[in-house]
Amino acid sequence: MDHQSPQPADGRRYAVDTIYFTMDYLDETRWLVTTWLHADDDDQRERARQRITSLNDIGFFVALKQALSKNEDDRERDTIYWMLGILLRRTGETQVGEFLMRQIAVERKKTVKTEILRSIGNAKGNCIRIQNASNALECLSEKMRNLRAAAVESLGCCGDPRAEDALIALIDDSLENTSENGWFIHDAVWSLSEIATSKSIPCATKVIQQIDGLRLGTRKRDIKAMAVKTLAKVGSTEQRGIYCDLLLNDKAPMVKWHAMRALSHFAVSEDAPVITKRVRSILNSKRTIPQTEPPFVCPKPSHILFLLSEGDDSHATELLHGFVALKRISALDDAKLLAVVRRKWSNLTPTEQAYLKSATDALDGLEVHQTA
C-alpha cells in the first residue's frame, strides 16, 4: 500500500487529512499483525511477512505506537515490537529507538525486554544515538545473561556518555576476569566501535594486545578486528605502528583488513615497505574472483558478522585499501610493484582495476573488466 503525506494547506483541512493519513497506516498495521498471526492462508501470511520485513516508511511509527497502546495480547504486542525494530533498522530514525528504549521501563517480562533491546542493537551502523541509556544500563546488572547481552548490544546505538563508560568498564573487566564468553566480549567491543570517542583508545589498544592470551573458545579474531576498527575510528597517526605490526604478524584476514583500512587513512611514507609487502603478498596469492575457497586474502564472502558490522564497506577488499594507502603516501608508482600488478591484472576485481586506472598513469593499455 502506498501512502502519500498530507500537504499543509489551511490548518483545519490539514488536521483532518493528517487524521485520515494516520488511520490509513493504522488500518494497514492492524491487517499486518492480524494476518501474520492469525491468517489460515499461507500466501496471505507470506505477503504480510514480506511487507513487515521491508518496513521503511516512518509514517508507520505513530500507527505502531497507537496499536501497541491499545493492545494487550502478548503475541500481537511482540509482533508490533518486531515491526518497530525493523522500522528502526531500515530508517535509522533515532526517535524510534528512543521510544523502544523507554518501553524497557514499561514492560515487565524480561524476555520482552531482551527482544526490545536486541532490536535496538540490530540497528547498529545507522548513526542512531539514543540520548538516555538508563534503561539499558540498568539491565547490565540483571542475572539473566541474554538480557545483559542484549543491553550490551543496544548501547551501540546510544549517545549517552555513560554508555561508552559502561562498555569500557565491561571490556576491561572481561580482560582481567574472563567470566563471559567470546560472544559477549565481541558484542561489547562492537558496540564500543560504534560510539567510541578518544577515551576508548586505551581500551581498544589493550584488547588488541591481550585478546590472543585469553582463554576464549570463540570469536578472538572477530574481537580483535572490532578493536582495530575502534582504534582506527577515534585514533590518529600515532597508532600506525599497531596497524603495521598486525599486517606483518597477525594471521586473521579480518584483522588485516581492518588494519589496512586504517592505514589507508593514516599511513605515512615510513609505512610504505610494510604496506607494499602485504600488497605483493596478496597479489601473489592464489585468488579466485569471487573468492570462495582458501587461502583467503580477505574476509570470507559469507562471513555474516563482517557483513553486518561493515555494511557497504564490506565490498571493499583489503587489497583495494592497500592501493589507497600506497596512493596516500605516493608509493603506488613503484615500478616493481606495478610489474606485479600487470602480471596479476586478471586476478583483480573490477573495482580494484578501476581504482588503479584512476590513481596512476602507469597502467595504460590495461582494460577494466566488466562485472558479471
- State which amino acid sits at residue 36: W
Question: From the DSSP assignment, how many helices (H) and strands (E) are in the chain?
Answer: 19, 0
Residue 131 lies in a domain: no
The candidate with the shortest Cα–Cα distance to 88, out of 131, 49, 57, is 57
DSSP H/E element including 356: helix 350-359
Of 235, 263, 298, which residue sits at a domain end? 235
Residue appearing with cell numbers 500466501: 43
Residue appearing with cell numbers 511482540: 78
The predicted model scores a pTM of: 0.85
Q: Please tell me the predicted confidence (pLDDT) of residue 179.
A: 65
The candidate with the shortest Cα–Cα distance to 36, out of 18, 49, 25, is 49
Q: Can you tell me the distance from the alpha carbon of 273 to that of 240, in angstroms, rounded to the nearest whole number?
A: 13
Residue 256 lies in a domain: yes
Of 87, 119, 151, which residue sits at a domain end? 119
372 and 291, same domain (yes or no):
yes
The candidate with the shortest Cα–Cα distance to 318, out of 282, 346, 347, 266, is 282
Q: Please tell me the predicted confidence (pLDDT) of residue 184.
A: 87
N- to C-terminal Cα distance for the chain?
A: 34
Whether a cis peptide bond, with omega within 30° of 0, leads into 301 is no
Output DSSP code: residue 365: T
Cβ distance 201 to 234 under 8 Å?
yes
Residue appearing with cell numbers 532490536: 119
Question: For each of the chain's 372 residues, which pLDDT tens digit applies?
Answer: 555 544 444 544 434 344 334 558 999 999 999 999 999 999 999 999 999 999 999 999 999 999 999 999 999 999 999 999 999 999 999 999 999 999 999 999 999 999 999 999 999 999 999 999 999 999 999 999 999 999 999 999 999 999 999 999 999 998 988 766 678 898 999 999 999 999 999 999 999 999 988 887 768 888 999 999 999 999 999 999 999 999 999 998 889 999 999 999 999 999 999 999 999 999 988 765 554 443 344 555 445 566 666 767 777 889 999 999 999 999 999 999 999 999 999 889 888 999 999 999 999 889 998 764
259 and 222, same domain (yes or no):
no
The candidate with the shortest Cα–Cα distance to 51, out of 27, 91, 96, 83, is 83
Entry field: residues in the chain: 372
Residues 6+ apart with CB under 8 A from 157: 97, 120, 121, 123, 124, 126, 128, 129, 130, 194, 195
Domain containing residue 218: 160-235
DSSP H/E element including 295: none
Q: Please tell me the predicted confidence (pLDDT) of residue 215.
A: 81
Residue 284 lies in a domain: yes
371 and 269, same domain (yes or no):
yes
Sign, Cα dihedral of 304, 148, 205, 161: positive
110 and 24, same domain (yes or no):
yes
Residues 6+ apart with CB under 8 A from 262: 228, 231, 232, 235, 239, 243
Of 211, 235, 259, which residue sits at a domain end? 235
- Where b means 16+ CB within 10 Å and e means fewer, 133-152 reads bebbbebbeeeeeebbbbbb
273 and 228, same domain (yes or no):
no
Q: Please tell me the predicted confidence (pLDDT) of residue 162.
A: 98
187 and 256, same domain (yes or no):
no
Cβ distance 94 to 129 under 8 Å?
yes
Q: Please tell me the predicted confidence (pLDDT) of residue 4.
A: 52
